[in-house]
C-alpha cells in the first residue's frame, strides 16, 4: 500500500475523470457566475411573494432579504451564488449599501471575521458590478 491518497481523494479523482470523459468541457467548468442565469425579480414581484402584500402586518421583502443575507453570513458565507443573488435582489428592492453592510457586519459577532469578510467581498463584488452597469 504505497498509495498515500485517502479514499475521499480517490473517489473525487474518479468522478472528475468520469466527468471529463463524458464531457470534455467539464474540465474547465466552474460554478462561479452561475447565478447570472437566474434573473433578478422585479421589486413588486418580490413584495408579492416575500413581502407584506398578503400579510399586511408582516415583514417587507427588503427586511426578509436582509435576514436571509444575515443567515447566509452566519452559516459561514459558503454559498457564494446565494449571497450574490440575495445582494442583487436587495439592491432591486431598494436596500442601500449601508444596510447591506450592516446586516453582514452584525453577523461578525456570530459568524466570525473570516465569514463576514467573505460575505462582504461577495456583496461588494455584486454592488460594484451594479454600479458599473448603472453608469
Q: What is the pLDDT of residues 55-74, one digit of tens each?
A: 778 888 899 999 999 999 99
CATH number of the domain within which 114 lies:
1.20.1290.10
Domain holding 23, by residue range, is 1-30
d(CA 68, CA 50): 11
39 and 26, same domain (yes or no): no
Residue 1 has pLDDT above 60, yes or no: no
What is the Cα–Cα distance from 76 to 86, expressed in whole angstroms?
15
Q: Is the same domain home to 78 and 39?
A: yes
pTM: 0.70
- What gap in Å lies between CA 99 and CA 91, rounded to an integer? 10
108 with 54, same domain? yes
Residues 19 and 47 in one domain: no
68 alpha-carbon distance from chain centroid: 10
Number of domains making up the chain: 2
DSSP state at residue 35:
G
pLDDT, tens digit, 9 for 90 and up, residues 16-32: 888 888 887 776 766 66
Q: Which helix (H) or strand (E) holds 61?
A: helix 61-74
List CB contacts of 57: < 8 A, sequence separation 6 or more: none
Give 123's contacts (C-beta < 8 A, 6+ positions apart). Answer: 69, 83, 87, 100, 101, 104
Question: At 89, which helix (H) or strand (E)?
Answer: helix 80-92
Place of cell 470534455: 24
pLDDT tier at 33 (50, 70, 90 boundaries)? low
Question: What is each CA distance from 20 to 27, 29, 32, 33, in whole angstroms?
Answer: 6, 10, 19, 21
User: Residues 110, 46: one domain?
Assistant: yes
Amino acid at each position: 500500500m504505497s498509495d498515500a491518497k485517502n479514499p475521499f481523494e480517490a473517489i473525487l479523482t474518479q468522478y472528475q475523470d468520469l466527468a471529463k470523459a463524458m464531457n470534455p468541457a467539464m474540465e474547465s467548468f466552474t460554478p462561479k457566475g452561475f447565478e447570472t442565469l437566474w434573473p433578478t425579480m422585479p421589486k413588486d414581484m418580490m413584495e408579492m411573494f416575500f413581502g407584506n402584500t398578503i400579510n399586511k402586518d408582516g415583514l417587507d421583502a427588503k427586511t426578509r432579504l436582509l435576514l436571509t443575507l444575515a443567515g447566509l453570513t452566519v452559516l459561514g458565507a459558503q454559498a457564494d451564488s446565494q449571497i450574490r443573488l440575495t445582494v442583487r435582489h436587495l439592491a432591486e428592492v431598494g436596500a442601500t449599501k449601508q444596510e447591506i453592510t450592516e446586516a453582514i457586519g452584525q453577523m461578525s459577532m456570530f459568524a466570525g471575521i473570516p465569514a463576514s469578510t467573505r460575505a462582504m467581498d461577495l456583496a461588494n463584488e455584486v454592488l460594484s458590478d451594479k454600479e458599473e452597469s448603472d453608469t
